[in-house]
Chains A and B, each alone.
Chain A
Amino acid sequence: MSFLSIRDVPKTYRSDGAVTEVLTPLSLDIARGEIVTFLGPSGCGKTTLMRMVGGLESIEAGQITLDGAVLGPPDRRRGMVFQSYAAFPWLTVRGNIAFGLRYRTDLTAEEKAEITDRYLAMVGLAGFAEAYTNRISGGMRQRVAIARTLAADPDVLLMDEPFGALDALTREHLQGQLLQINASEQKTTIFVTHDVEEAILLAHRVVIFSARPARILSVVDVAERLGGDRGHDLLRASEFQALRREIQDIIRAEYDRARQAEEAHAV
């Protein structure tokens, strides 16, 4: 029995009578503590699937279960980090990180303060605790969002291209920081990206999606191929490069197929 289980879940959008198939019914099992990256072209439906896990999109058929229980509307068990900076501008960095804790009745004020301080330190923002979020950089804001989500102690961490809007240097720094956090927190994580390197670097497994309507093209067990030690040094390893080419070939073949299908459709 896997921790997070997606079973025969499709997705279609209807607007003005037109039906768009976003996901072909697909299934995926994720173990407790596993980090899975969803890799695929923009707009393919990978984010939609992750949002369905988060309860932010309706589930029409099939089911998604967490620890055996069927998932419904969004709640604290599934924390989400968005691509756009979702840090609240009216709160300080500390206020943002503590936000989810205000709804916890099972914790004392001291425990809440202790948790907030711990995550402030974990993302390296202790020195900016009292700053408002429009005074700090985009990378720092995204660290605030990550710390805020982790502080709420979700069972599953959902990340929707969280570093997509950042410059390359900041992105690399945050990837490194996320790897460290992963090592200490051991959170079950789904991380959506269209960056092949990022997908390999962060994941235990990479799930490669087709163009819309999304199917799972392939699941690559990165942990088995590269081992557990992660970091940017890995990018130079020959096994990493081989894996990257392998995945790029799969994506390229899919891209060609999708384009041909589109052109055939257009004629």
Chain B
Amino acid sequence: MTDIDRKSLSKPHEIHTRRFGRNAGTALCLVGFCAVVFGLTVAKIQDGGLMEAHDHQPRASVLPVTEGTDQ
């Protein structure tokens, strides 16, 4: 067996077993964080009403309201 084979990641190393709990916990936290950000995004969009980014083009909804007009 070569030195590379002994260090190959494909072969479970003792450290994988030793740190399984820590790695699994970290993975769960990351997945949970992604889920929270996704859920928050959905909630914000549902509650957010009209949200339009400025696209450097005049449009009715961004023009000031003037008396006598039907904007």
A binds B: no
